[in-house]
A = this chain, B = another copy of it.
Amino acid sequence: MGPMAGRVTIGDLAQRLGLSKASVSYALNGQPGVSEQTRARVLALARELQWYPSSSARTLSGARTGIVGLVLSRDPDLLGTEPYYMLVLSGIEAELIDAEYGLLLRMVGSEPGRDLPVYERWAGERRVDGVMLFDQRRDDPRIPLLRDLGLPAVLNGAAEPGSVLPTVVPDEHGDARQVVELLHGLGHRWIGHLSGPSGLLHEERRELLLRAAAAPAGIEVESIRGDYTMGTAERLIGERLRRGPGPTAWVASNDVMALGAVRAAARAGVDVPGRLSVVSWDDSLLCEIGAPPITALDRHPRDFGRRCARALLAEIAGTPDDGAGARPSELRVRSSTGPAAP
């Protein structure tokens, strides 16, 4: 028996086996109401014909796994030190609790491409109902792969124009504008951007948006690539401070790097904020308790996590996402920013 033309449905299985659609559905979903013999016949045919539940069929039949997947291509050490991801994760979990969903988390290290076999396996073994994607890269190979696998997916944090997947993006345009307005108002005309690793779409986007906001205000932007860790940030900013005249304010792409910048200044005897201002693109308890406390963008990471999870659950259910927009970020002005040094 070869595969049938088009998608195999529960109706097709029922017809071939001379059973009701309900019986086939019970059998496929592990529900009571059919004998073990019948269940075995249904499962055997379903496997033979490569029947695969569509996301809407899964919703209707209740055959979902109740699990969404997240593959992180990151050094696991970062997971323990960078609060942002943990706050997003806690928002995701808060939404998943309500939906009684579990999160299958798989870390694969930061070497590119090691995540792809995981999606293939999850789809093949029907381990998850859908996946959340973060840290999008240009020409991201996950997108065509997930389309081919037919696995529901939502892109979070950045999206290439014309992306085929549903996306949840923060308002980074507004974020860049707020940061530049603050620094411009304090008289800064030369600012530095300590970004995250290259290749990440949201980092490229921030860089563009910062420059776009700064240019009309006559502000020069200089960039250094960090790796989200405090140690590297401290070394890079330390080197830059020793190289002579430079930015009077640094915008770091996360809180941990902002702390590194403050440490580098302290080590070089450069007063913060007297001689150098520091802004963090992420807010957290680390910024709040820093010495000095660090001016930071509160981008509501828990809300963002909730939105990401909600969008994926809607995609899995085949219902429209509620489409609630992002709450605008709030710039928490603390003691790490002050008037530009003359």
Complex formed: what's the CA distance from A230 to B289 in Å?
12
CA distance A81 to B67 in the complex (A): 24
Distance in Å: Cβ of A58 to nearest Cβ of chain B:
14
Measured CB to CB, the closest approach of chain B to A178, in angstroms, equals 23
User: Which B residues touch A108, using CB under 8 A?
Assistant: 97
Is A341's beta carbon under 8 Å from chain B? no
**Closest-CB distance, A76 to chain B (whole angstroms):** 4
- What residues of chain B lie closer than 8 Å to A286, measured between beta carbons? 285-286, 289
Contacts of A37 in B (CB 8 A): 48
* Chain A, range 108-133, C-beta contacts under 8 Å to B: 108-109, 118, 121, 125, 127
Nearest-neighbour CB distance to chain B for A332, whole angstroms, equals 16
Neighbouring B residues of A106 by C-beta, 8 Å: 96, 102-103
CB < 8 Å: which of B41, B81, B96, B107 contacts A93? B107
B44 touches A40 (CB 8 A): yes
Identify the stretch in A10-18, A82-90, A199-207, A321-329 within 8 Å (CB) of chain B at 4 or more residues: A82-90
Taking the closest CB of chain B, its distance from the CB of A118, in whole angstroms, is 7
Nearest B-chain residue to A256, judged by Cβ: B285
The yes or no answer to A212 lying at the interface (CB within 8 A) is no
Indicate whether A76 sits within 8 Å of B103 (C-beta atoms), given known contacts A39-B47, A125-B30.
no
Which of B40, B90, B289 is the one whose CB lies under 8 Å from A79?
A: B90
Interface pair B105/A103, CB less than 8 Å apart: yes
A139 at the interface (CB under 8 A from B): no
C-alpha gap A3/B28 in the complex (Å): 22
Residue-wise, chain A 45-82 has the 8 Å CB interface mask toward B (1 for contact) of: 10110000000000000000111000000001111110
**Does residue A241 face the partner (Cβ distance < 8 Å to B)?**
no
Number of interface residues of A (CB under 8 A): 52
Residue in contact with A104 in the complex, picked from B48, B94, B104, CB distance below 8 Å: B104
Cβ of A276: which chain B residues have Cβ within 8 Å of it?
Answer: none
Q: Which residue of B lies closest to A87 (CB)?
A: B80
Which one of B76, B80, B83, B259 lies within 8 Å of A289 (CB-CB)? B259
- Is A188 part of the contact surface with B, judged by Cβ < 8 Å? no
Q: Is A43 an interface residue (CB 8 A)?
A: yes
Q: Does A290 contact B (CB under 8 A)?
A: yes
Residue of B nearest to A46 (CB): B40
In the complex, the answer to whether B76 meets A285 with C-beta atoms within 8 Å is no
Binding site for B on A (CB under 8 A): 30, 36-37, 39-41, 43-45, 47-48, 65-67, 76-81, 83, 86-87, 89-91, 93-94, 96-97, 102-109, 118, 121, 125, 127, 230, 256, 259, 285-286, 289-291, 301-302
Provide 13 A-B residue pairs closer than 8 Å at the C-beta atoms, listed in order of the A residue: A40-B45, A40-B48, A41-B44, A65-B127, A77-B94, A79-B86, A79-B93, A81-B285, A102-B104, A103-B105, A105-B105, A286-B286, A291-B291
Known pairs A102-B105, A127-B127; list 8 more (Cβ under 8 Å). Answer: A40-B48, A76-B90, A76-B93, A76-B94, A77-B302, A79-B86, A80-B301, A103-B105
